[in-house]
Amino acid sequence: MVESKLKSNLRLLMAHHKIDSVTELMKKSKLSRNAIKKILKEENLENAKLETFLRLCDTFSCPLSDLIEYTPKDFDKEKWIKSKY
């Protein structure tokens, strides 16, 4: 059985927006180094504050789904694709 999984795309968003450091992101988002590092390291993402995610979304002008990906338990991608088409 596969456990549910949250994945952060923060590194990709930083690269796309040419933000080279955590310090630079801290200044733009007004978030703490600790909050940003936890998301970068994908440490306990399910316990991160929604406010933190929303502030990053505002910083990058993106929807939450661009920042965080969720894969539910027992997700079968092939089965899902077949059901869609």
* Domain map (residue ranges) of the chain: 5-84
The domain defined by 5-84 folds into 434 Repressor (Amino-terminal Domain) (1.10.260)
φ and ψ at residue 69, rounded to 5 degrees: -110, 135
Residue 2, SS3 per DSSP: coil
Residue spans of the chain under pLDDT 50: 1-2
φ and ψ at residue 70, rounded to 5 degrees: -120, 130
**Nearest one of 49, 43, 37, 42 to 8, comparing CA atoms:** 42
Q: What is the pLDDT of residue 85?
A: 67
Q: What is the pLDDT of residue 5?
A: 86
